[in-house]
Structure 1
């Protein structure tokens, strides 16, 4: 069940539905490439959370170096599905 309200700001396409955390920055800061090839753009925060939980996922090579590095550094510190343990 989606507990977000209609008045909540829209979130980036990379934000997992069960993750209640808000976006940080532009919703197209980078693109994550899933292991099977699907691509999804998102903010740095949600891209890092997706990357942390998907073995074989990567940041699209055309992302800015600053965004890509921030995503990789954040993902390294997160467990998969970080929202399940309150991170």
Structure 2
């Protein structure tokens, strides 16, 4: 796999019906060769009570400071992106 983009810094997590929380993330987007399949994943740090709402969400939305968003699944302190990465070139 080849890393094609990365982002580390602040973000906001939105969970429908639950609220929004400020978080810190370390994310990478990778491409598998030769198929060209892309996926994104990384670490997320939630420092308040919002962690439980995000843990229980089927799908949450991550918003970066520039307004770009991406949906993800949360597993412990790891996240797995769904759809295009909200960072780097799309």
Larger fraction in strand = 2
Return the TM-score normalized by structure 1.
Answer: 0.32
Return the TM-score normalized by structure 2.
Answer: 0.31
